[in-house]
Structure 1
Amino acid sequence: LVTPAVYIIFPAVIGTFTWKKFRLPIGATATMFAFVIGLWQSRYFNFHSFAGFPLNFVAPSTFIVLGIILDATLLWTKSFFATGFIGAFFFGALPYAVNWPVFALWHVPV
């Protein structure tokens, strides 16, 4: 329940800061990249090192593309309102399509 809120609030805050101070639309992408690095560290140390679980069974979702979409929407519209409306819509609508290449291997008939 916390993860979806964190995945949209932190990129919005960092994206607002980088856009207002530096005019660079890189905040959401950088935040998502940092989240993925943290997720892989968590998967390695908690699942692989501590529990002995194979790493190929614990693939985290790839949200970097969603950060790129948020930043591209901000660059395209140059409006926080439009980015919040359009970018957040795509942010909620595209995770299944973005994660399909990662999880498509396990969609086989049994």
Structure 2
Amino acid sequence: MSEIKILHNPRCSKSRETLKLLEEKGIAADVVEYLKAPLSEAELKSLFAKLGLDDVKKMMRVKEAEYKEAGLNGADVTDEQRFAAMAEYPKLLERPVVINGDKARIGRPPEAVLDILG
């Protein structure tokens, strides 16, 4: 089992490009189709820490209809509510995400993941 994982959506071109980039570099990653196996709130919080971001919204697809429908763009929305929404609507998670141990990067652009692969 690989230590490197990719949270992958096969329908997403950036996700496919990132997976191809890993393969070209000879990196065997565990492919996790997060839309079929959604992350829990605890897993999302752990992922947020690994990403090293300063704002939960930076790991979310804020242009998705579900984001607006869930009222997540309000100034009074808490991080807890955002994590709960991503657990309920996994498509809100920005993709792809490559995880290597205690570090993670969003593959936008795909090359952004290379700095955690050593």
Smaller-chain TM-score range?
under 0.3
Larger Rg: 1
Higher share in helix? 1
Higher share in strand? 2
